[in-house]
Structure 1
Amino acid sequence: MSSMNSSHSHPSAFILIGIPGLEAAHIWISIPVCGMYIMAWIGNCIILYIIKTERSLHEPMYYFLSMLAVTDLVLSNSVSPKMLAIFWFHSNEIYFDSCLIQLFILHCFFIIESGVILAMAFDRYVAICNPLRHSNILSNSIIIKLGLVILIRGVLLAIPYCFLLIRLPFCSNRVILFSYCGYFAVAKLACADTLISAIYGLTVSIMVMGFDLTFVIFSYVMILRVVFRLPTWAARLKAFSTCGSHVGVILTFYILALFTLLTHRFGQNIPLYFHVIMANVYLLVPPMLNPIIYGVKTKQIRSRVLLFSVQNTNHRPLDCYPTAT
């Protein structure tokens, strides 16, 4: 590892602490982290496999769910392996370029996930409020265009994070009091004014969550107006059931995101290890819970999972079983 040539260059590598103050408990903390990582991998891969192989699921709701599953896989893979390496093997060093890549992926795919959740809310709005035109409004070409817009927005908003850090001078302190390369955690190590970096990071977080959450709430207000006009409770419950899994994903993602943001900005008296644990929970829990929520709440996916389990138990072809309705 090379040292810095001057005080106005960046170090060749940083040192990730893991969870500061709880280093002695890292091996125990690694158990739930590893469990969540494995569950996220298995759950999201099952969701993708079922949607790919079951032709009845080739519709907008499940295309967006596929995007969500891919996003969750990328997010969990960008953090969990390095985190487990720190906990198990004390592999605390991370190269500067690797740190920037991890940071870019985290912020890019956080923005993408928020955009996918917004697109899913729009899909539910069209399906309930304008069902006769659902297939025309959300055609395959429109879904592809929406996916590209969501991806491009994430990339364009995440790139400045890297450029703002590259232009900062770093001094002798290379220790990041975090378990991954978070933007604010890395920027704190700079020996220069980081006001612009802080403003940009906070602005993007508020803008993305504020914009997306506002339109998600607006979509569900319109959905509720239509649902409560339905003549019977049975019809209302059926309409609500189509939104149940998406509401669970919304609550998991945005509650954890808002709580993490608020504790970071206003929780100066909260111990540092709590900040780090909450930041880890925010990145580890949604990728694990999202496939569980959809698997439990969505009849088509639940049926295919049960059929797949029966197939493996009896070692018989899946075609021997009746198709779920």
Structure 2
Amino acid sequence: MLDIFTITGPIYLCIAAGFASVRLGLFSAADMRVLGRFVIQIALPALLFNALASRPLTEVIHPGYLMAYAVGSLALLLGALAYARRVQGKPLTESAYVAMGMTCSNSGYVGYPVMLLAFGPLAGVILALNLLVENLAKLPLLFALADAGSHQGQRPSVAQVLKQTAARQIRNPMIVAICAGFLVALVGLRLPDVLSRTINLFSAASGGLALFIIGGTLVGLKVKGLRRQVAMITVGKLVLHPLAVFGAVVLLPLLGLPAVTGELRAAAVLSAAMPMLGIYPLLAQRHGLEGFTAAALLATTATSFFTLSAILWMVKG
């Protein structure tokens, strides 16, 4: 168990440092947004490009992992959406954000540092694979549902949704970095040392800084009055999501589909066990739902210390 805390301990100490820095006035909430833009626009794209471009293509293509992570996540997404709509009677837009909270992991800010400590250099590949599923499957679907629910009587057409999604992804620096990294790996291009080292310097800034930002953004978030909904999202994200992905890892090979092998089996379950993406309340803000989403982010991030430690103990034991 001590080995597990050596992995999770630094993660949450970095988060606590960010929280304390904002709470004590060393940084402001606006500073966290600026630092966050640096991580999203520069550091993580550099990390993703470096992780993919520095390996042979056979080491970065894992169909079994992509399929298991996508199938498990989408199964829970549809289940959560149906439960929120049919059982709880929530509007479509709110139901989409409930499903987002349960199934969209914080692969960059929390997931990558955990994977780096648990699996070493493989962490960059895991991050790239997770972001492909998040940005090309789950988030476009959820954005389309949220927008459809907010247009009473004037729902956007499928063509409009696809056009908006494609435009959003073309401008996403992380997707651009993933595509560029795959292209370099495909052609076997070796980057000049000066360029490679520059990219390494930026990518090295991503891990600790990302966690620091998460801690800073948690300052001021409140759970009061939202406990039931927050508890449902927290259990869905930290328990049901990893169980759904684990089920896909086990069942898909029985159907003759590619299997997830080696450390990637544990990585798929761990990726699903991360708290939801850090910009969850910011995404919900455009539909006026930042209240329960911010509360869910706070509760899930705090609770994940215990659930992640437990899952790490199981998969590493």
Give TM-score scaled by structure 2 length. Answer: 0.31
- Which structure has more RCO (C-alpha within 8 Å, separation ≥ 6)? 2
Give TM-score scaled by structure 1 length. Answer: 0.30
